[in-house]
Structure 1
Amino acid sequence: MNDRKQIYVVLMVMILWMLLIQALGWGPRPQAKKPQTDPAKVAKDQGDAAPDAKAEAPGREEDRPKGAEEKKGPKAPEVAHVDPSELVLGSATDKAPDGYRLAVQLEQKGAGVESILSSRYDAEFEGRKNPHLPLQILRRDPIAPPSLSLTINEEGKAAEVAQPEVDDEASELAPPRITEDLLDSVLWEVVRDPEGHAVRVVRSQDPATKADIEGQEVVFRATAANGVGITKTYRLWQTMNGLEVELAFESPDRERAFSYNLFGPHGIPIEGEWYTGTFREVFFGTIRPSGNGEGSIKVETHTANDIVKAGDKPPKSTTLPLRFAGVENQYFAAFLAPYPAPTSDEGRIDKETKAVVLHRDAQAVQKSDVGIRMTSKTIRPGPNAPVVHTFRVYTGPKIDSALAPYNASILAAYRKSSFIPGASYVARYFITPTLSVTYDLTTAISRALGGSVGNWGVAIILMTLFVKLLMFPLGRRQALMAQRTQQLQPYLKAIQEKYKDDKEQQTRETLALYKKHGVNPVSGCLPALIQLPIFVGLWQALNSSVSLRHSPFLWISDLAAPDMLFRFPVEIPLLGSFLGRWFNLLPILVVGLMLVQTKLFSPPATTPEAKTQQTTMQFMMVFMAVMFYKVPAGLGIYFITSSLWSIGERLLLPKITHAAENTPEADALGGDAGKGGPGKGGGGNGRGPAAPKKPPGAFGQFMERILEEARKDPTYRKLTDDREGKGKDRKTDRDDRRDRTRPRPKPGRKQSP
């Protein structure tokens, strides 16, 4: 089977495996987490991000030019304060499969969200210790308005405000005066049920399963300065990783035109701040309408570093209807989405959505806290014509099963740019489901032995072995081609010495030598190119899989973080800020195995250039150990397993190919073995005639014809004659092959005819 057929077979097996995975519905499953505590206590224990002394509240001075004036309406009536413990939706300790997955702490001032805790995930480890606190997906910012708070913009008022007369120089600095009712900083009324409860119990029907589900809601009410009554309702349902926000605008006396600004969820924590490459990022998911009404979703992502550097021109989304927008870290996302989702420009709610900076981190800009702010299109509520807008807010892991109800499954894919085409698709549709299958296998084995859960470390090892086994034909072909190339090193060295002053002729002679011996350097690299998307896809899947978060294996407490064998007693000079305070063993083992592979299987350096190249590669591996020192432990396990497989494959290759040394393929390399050529087998090894061969088949006959043409080449004959010190004419190729099997006459004795 040639290289092309092998590649076709491997690709067909991969495609069939992906289709089988999709048909059976296998996918990664997040692990259940530890019990959690009260939201207020957890928020106090985990602490809020320290505000920058010079930070400005988003949506206030940052989004509005200095000198702007807010419209002052009549004094609002006194609103009774409500204890924060009465404004909690859901539970942080509910572990039931059909229970609440979130605990939402609401805030009366601004009618926003103070914090959101997860009942399924623990907070980040402190080194190698689990604090057993619930993950705080959103946290309150002490300066910025609360998440999901809003302000009102009155239509046309900014243009009616008379500007003072100033000189030309001052007019360049004087911004226009605008009007904005800051409802995000006033105390809203909490509407209680007839029994006096702030939290109401509501029921609905799950559209997917048609089963009754229970939920909770809290209703806030306020009156804007323009006389519009606003009712804001928060609803949280069981089994959902998010909540609903309903905004109802009423103007009973006359029609009023205005727009509003809705502040998105913010305050998502940074996962693995000392080792991660993904901090906080803002994303805009827009939909491009199509003829069938579905459309395609496009996601645009911006890092905190880009947003801070953009200054007063932050990234924004204005052209296409907004499907969702929010913030994310490596494993979790928090976003708001209009509901029902718009399918055309006529049905869209948003006018523009832009990124905002909550706090700028002066020392590490990429760690700055960012969020989004949506501005609606103009709405016109009037008598008996209220306007109601509904949003769905998601706060949870980036996995398909959780994002699917929000039509945001695209967020589960690795979306960073990759220099390997198709790697993200391989990660999403092949590697991740395969990892889920191997984890299910470990779970089944664990239950058979009396356990309850599987092991993700063992699952990674099994998945790596499966992928390497699938790629075995290509890997073996690559190793065999490398071995044949190594056998030709004496000829290649002779060509380099002979044509060292003529590089063009040297290239031609080298290619001719490869052609005569059936060695194709490109075919040796092709299997590696085929495996490259799989490798990058596997790296992406392991680097963004929330299922590996807090998963233990051997001494490793978190497969999604570095293995952290022990903590350095002191900070390492120069590299301490980059490497961190922990010693990671797995990257050292990975580079050590790579050095072993190079030592065992690289051809010996025959030229000073080759020796310099090998030395450079050794230094590069040490450099790679530093660069990949903080990779997740799951990746380290994959690298080690893959390297051990490759070493074993190469060590067993001579035993596998030993029986084929007397085939026509081996004869092409070893025909001159008895004369000091690169081959070591065949009949000319001085140990008697070769074993009888079977009649050649179609492939053997094809190779015979190639060898016939190769031996007619004068360049090859002259090169081999020069190496053996011969100057006499050679016999024909057929007679020469026949004579090799006969014993040579002793010196001084005449050979019988």
Structure 2
Amino acid sequence: MNKRFLLALGLWLLLVVAYFVIKINFFPTPPEPEQPKVLAPHTVPAEQAEQLLQPLAVPLAQIDLALHAQPKEVEAAVGKVMAERASAAERAAELRRKQESEWQNDAITLGSSKDYKLLVTLSRAGAAVRRIQLNEYRSADRATARPTDQPLLLVDDDLDGTLNNLPLADRLERQSYRLLVDDMPLAWEVLPDQERIDENGVRTQVVFQAIAAGKNVRILKTFTLAPGDYHVGMHLRFESLAPGAEVRYMLTGARGVPVEGEVWKTMPFRQIVTGTVTPSGSAIRHLVTPQEIRDDAKRGEKEKKLKSPPIAGESPPERLQFSGVMLQFFASLAVIDGDPNKHAYIEKVEPEYYGDDPKPLVHGQEWPINERFQGRIAPKLTSRVIKPATDAPQEHKYQLYSGPTKIYLLRFQTGVPEEVVNGYYAQHLNIMTDYPWWPIFAFGWTQLVVFFTDCMHWLLIQLSWICGGHHWAAIILMTVLVRGLLFPISRRQALMSLRMQKLAPEMKALQEKYKDDRQALAAAQMELYRKHGVNPFGGCLVMLLQMPVLMGLYYALYESVDLRLSGFLWIENLAAPDMLFYLGSWPILLKDLTHTLTFGYVVINLGPYFNILPILSTVLLVIQQKLLTPPPADENQAQQQKMMKYMMIIMGYAFYWVASGLCIYFIISGSWGMLERKLIPKVSHEKPEEPPAKTGPGKRRPREKTSTNGAPDGFLGKMKDWLDDFLEQARKK
């Protein structure tokens, strides 16, 4: 019955996949015409509107006079009011045109979309970053993470498309890496004579200056960009204008960082990542999620780690190295350029929550998102008090990094100098991904997993090049290659497990015999293991040897930015669920499952799309478990096996939003496991036979060319003989 059910389920899934593959590739749905974007009219600030409309305030006596006057006088009074109103409206329109003109001229660009890794847009008015474009990567749809034909804007002050509807002050607040004094913006101006342009006419340096009112400090803010850098250099210089000058500044973090795949993400959309360094040089990573920022208690706990100690002159245990916003594949950070123990610029870091994410549109319908994970966040860095002398200005140097979270991948990207990547490692940016999850194992275990993860990244990149850039083929080849190399270890583990299962009846008999003497039971068990050549800890040791390799393979597929927006068949993004078809176009039952349904303690939410690969992965896991699980010896064991089947179904639901690239790995790995199980013979406890005598030095006894089942001689016969030899040697071992 189980075999028939699994066969029917497999055939049904195969038919569904075939139908949608044919439909997508041969009968594509025509794209919907793009609706023109309608912008709301620009609004003038209230104080300016009041000044412009002041002439419209007609005295009450004048209106009363007009009501009792002759018709000609009434007409003249009304005409005068209308003329004043038209004049005020014209002046308001002129002011709006002037503001728009100034805003259009506000942008200053660093770098270019050619020969540079970044294209950076700065603001003249705010001396801050408006946009950072990553030229090597494309953007993805906010709701589903499907690829677009636009370059990736990792920092964007117009993320929601409403920037032009805002007054100037609100536009400035959307900018990133602003410098504030007393929580107020400064009046910046550009120094044209400090500008630098390379031989291709590309601007590479811009210098701003401002005077901190009441602080007697002149601030110079310099931005620089080199072709192979994934960071913008930011150099702050503080000059004293009078004795006793002092200032403290606040540096805002990256705003307008986009999210990909909001309708299916099961992790925080954004996280604030902060790296600190201890006096001994050890790097420590701190993560803050939007939900934690909304919780005042947890936010206060995060702030305490970087606040100045209460005792004057005492050094804090950690110094800030970097802080910023991190996504799954990219991050935008403010990094202290140098050793933070020598350049302790920052006194504290405060997480800032500045708005909710709007609900995305899926097929023209607003779709709910997980409230726990959503939220627009950024850090705010507060400096120590700076006291520049008249003849000794102080300088703070930063790097504004915007690039992949996995720093190791930059080593394989053309145009990125090796010294730049080494500099990122020296600034501990690698701990964004390469950081211990288990403090117990800490450094040794983490370094081992990171080593194998980097090896898998290297292997995946090489196989992708061999496969002509087809990353799905590279995933399959890498999985087969790794599992093949681990076959001797996994085979030994499986054999040990089978031997332990074969000894289960004898072990149960010993437990009944020595149930009152634990010491005698332990001695009898060890004697039984020795008699049959079984190491009870061998299976655990073999599993432990495999874990770093398999974990490295998993993390490599999870971190690889190359899989992002890479397609295969109907899959448009291997870093997202496969999204075979839209559930909203199917019967009412499937429509209901797209939203959250609650059955007691069970909550079902399939989202707007049907994902087939997680279901195939779960089916393979169930089949593999059935093949590896021995028949139950008693009712308790049968009940446990039944519970494991239900756990597999729950695991399938948890896997429903797993990236399709990882699902391909699970499918290939599960198929390999089933094939591996078929090649492992049954364990016999009989005394091993003596090896066949050799007919001569270095020669084996010739094998009979004819077999009892009439196997043909030739290539097929040789293959059968080789397989028989392999299984025979495995049985004897």
> What TM-score bracket applies, with the shorter chain setting the length?
0.5 to 0.7
Q: Does residue 600 of structure 1 match 2:589?
A: no
C-alpha contact 1:594 1:643 (8 A) present in aligned 2: yes
The residue that corresponds to 2:285 in the other structure is: 299
1:630-672 CA-partner distances (Å, limit 9, x unpaired):
1122221222222222211121122xx8xxx8xxxx5xx136x
2:328 alignment partner in structure 1: 330
Q: Secondary structure at the match of 1:133?
A: strand
**Which residue in 1 is equivalent to 2:127?**
111
- Report the CA distance shift for 1:250/1:80 in structure 2 as closer, same or farther (over 3 A): farther
Partner amino acid for 2:349? T
SS at match of 2:571: coil
Deviation at 1:388, TM superposition (A): 3.1
The 3 A distance-change label for structure 1 pair 623 and 629 is: same
Provide the rounded CA distance (Å) in 1 between the counterparts of 2:592 and 2:561. Answer: 30
> Quick check: 1:259–1:376 contact (8 Å CA) kept in 2?
yes
Amino acid paired to 2:423:
P
Deviations 1:260-307 (A, max 9, x none): 1222223322343322424221222222345xxxx3333222222223
Kept in 2: contact 1:255–1:383 (CA 8 A): no
Q: Does 1:588 align with 2:615?
A: yes
Equivalent position of 1:51 in the other structure = none
* Alignment partner of 1:201 out of 193, 196, 199: 196
Separation in 1, partners of 2:178, 2:38: 23
Which of 321, 341, 348 is equivalent to 2:319?
A: 321
Change beyond 3 A, Cα 1:482–1:81: same
Residue aligned with 1:366, SS: coil
TM-score, with normalisation over the residues of structure 1?
0.64
Q: Please report the RMSD computed on the Cα atoms of aligned residues, expressed in angstroms.
A: 3.7
Aligned counterpart, 2:68: none
Structure 2 residue aligned with 1:216: 204
Match for residue 481 of structure 1 among 480, 491, 496: 496
Q: 2:192 maps to which residue? A: 192
CA distance in 2: counterparts of 1:246 and 1:118, whole angstroms: 22
Go from structure 1 to structure 2 and tell me whether the alpha carbon gap of 1:633 and 1:327 turns closer, same or farther (over 3 Å shift): same
Deviation at 1:599, TM superposition (A): 2.0
Q: Once the 2 structures are TM-superposed, how far is the Cα of residue 621 of structure 1 from its aligned partner?
A: 0.5
Match of 1:313, as an amino acid? G
Shift of residue 393, structure 1, vs aligned partner: 0.6
1:151 lines up with 2:166 in the alignment: no
Give the CA deviation at 1:332: 0.9
Partner residue, 1:670? 686
- The within-5 A match list for 1:81-96 is 82-84=102-104, 87-90=107-110, 93-94=113-114
Shift of residue 328 of structure 1? 0.7
Distance in 2 (CA, whole Å) between partners of 1:429 and 1:641 is 23
Provide the C-alpha distance between the structure 2 equivalents of 1:80 and 1:127, rounded to a whole number of angstroms: 34
Matched residue type, 1:299: R
Report the residue type matching 1:434 in the other structure: M
Cα contact 1:493–1:606 (8 A) shared by 2: no
Q: 1:530 to 1:340 in 2, by over 3 A?
A: closer
Match of 1:393 in 2: 400
Would the alpha carbon gap of residues 638 and 425 (structure 1) be closer, same or farther in structure 2, given more than 3 Å must change?
Answer: farther
Q: Which amino acid letter does the alignment assign opposite residue 348 of structure 1? A: A
Change (3 A) 1:342 1:241: same
Shift of 1:619: 0.6
Q: How does 1:39-78 map to 2 (within 5 A)?
A: none
CA distance in structure 1 between the aligned counterparts of 2:128 and 2:38, rounded to whole angstroms: 20
Q: 1:577 to 1:644 in 2, by over 3 A?
A: closer
Of residues 571, 574, 582 in structure 2, which corresponds to 1:556? 571
1:101 counterpart residue number: 117
Cα deviations by residue, 1:296-328 (Å, 9 ceiling, x for unpaired) = 333222222223213572623242332222121
Residue identity in the other structure for 2:128: G
User: Counterpart of 1:348 in 2: which secondary structure?
Assistant: coil
Q: Is the 8 A contact 2:111 2:203 kept in 1?
A: no
**Alignment match, 1:441:** 463
Unaligned runs of 5+ in 1: 1-43, 48-77, 153-179, 195-199, 205-211, 447-453, 672-681, 683-689, 696-753
The secondary structure found in structure 1 opposite 2:190 is: strand
Shift of the alpha carbon at 1:614? 0.8
Q: Residue 241 of structure 2: which of 252, 271, 275 is its match?
A: 252
* Residue 151 of structure 2: aligned partner: 134
Q: Provide the rounded CA distance (Å) in 1 between the counterparts of 2:233 and 2:113.
A: 21
The equivalent residue for 2:556 is 541
For 1:489 and 1:391, locate their aligned partners in 2 and report how far apart those are by CA, in whole Å: 64
Amino acid aligned to 1:259: R
Q: 1:424 Cα shift?
A: 4.2
Which residue in the other structure is 1:230 paired with?
219
> In terms of mean alpha carbon deviation, does 260-269 or 638-647 score higher?
260-269
In structure 2, do the counterparts of structure 1 residues 213 and 411 end up closer, same or farther at CA, with 3 Å as the change threshold?
farther
CA deviation map 1:55-105 (0-9, x unaligned): xxxxxxxxxxxxxxxxxxxxxxx99974445623246642xxxx1222222
Structure 2: distance between partners of 1:234 and 1:82 = 21
- State how many pairs are aligned: 535
Contact 1:213 1:237 in 2 (8 A): no
Q: For residues 466 and 266 of structure 1, what CA distance do their matches in structure 2 show?
A: 42
Change (3 A) 1:235 1:257: same
In 2, distance between residues paired with 1:260 and 1:455?
49
Contact 2:197 2:205 in 1 (8 A): yes
**What are the residue-to-residue correspondences of 1:406-485 with 2, within 5 Å?**
406=424, 407-411=427-431, 413-415=433-435, 417-418=437-438, 421=441, 424-444=446-466, 446=468, 454-485=469-500
- Residue identity opposite 1:457 in structure 2: W
| Deviating more after overlay: 137-146 vs 630-639 | 137-146
Which residue pairs with 2:140 in the alignment? 124
CA separation in 2, counterparts of 1:256 and 1:108?
26
Tell whether the 8 Å contact from 1:263 to 1:373 is kept in structure 2 after alignment: yes
Q: Provide the rounded CA distance (Å) in 2 between the counterparts of 1:268 and 1:366.
A: 15
- 1:498-537 residue pairs with structure 2 within 5 A? 512-537=527-552
2:423 corresponds in structure 1 to 405
Give the residue type in structure 2 aligned to 1:621: M
Partner of 2:388: 381
How far is 1:386 from its partner? 3.2
User: CA 1:84–1:321 in 2, change beyond 3 Å: closer, same or farther?
Assistant: farther
8 Å contact kept, 2:331–2:403: yes
C-alpha distance 385-526 of structure 1, shift in aligned 2 (>3 A): closer
Identity of aligned residues (%): 33
Q: Kindly state the Cα deviation for residue 218 of structure 1 after the two structures are TM-superposed.
A: 2.7
Q: Give, in whole Å, the separation in 2 of the partners of 1:531 and 1:371.
A: 39
1:626–1:426 CA distance, 2 compared to 1 (3 A): farther
TM-score for both structures, normalised by structure 2: 0.65
- SS of 1:521's partner is coil
Cα pair distance change 1:313/1:343, threshold 3 Å? closer
CA distance in 2, matches of 1:272, 1:215: 35
2:614, 2:563 → 1: CA distance?
18
Q: Distance in 1 between matches of 2:566 and 2:446?
A: 23
Of residues 420-429 and 351-360 in structure 1, the stretch that sits farther from structure 2 once superposed is 420-429
Is the 8 Å Cα contact of residues 556 and 563 (structure 1) preserved in structure 2?
A: yes
Q: Deviations over 1:531-573 (max 9, x none)?
A: 2333333323322222221122333221211122222122415
- Partner residue, 1:339: 337
| 1:158 aligned residue | none
CA contact (8 A) 1:222 1:229 kept: yes
Alignment of 1:261-280 (within 5 A): 261-273=250-262, 274-280=264-270
Match of 1:355 in 2: 351
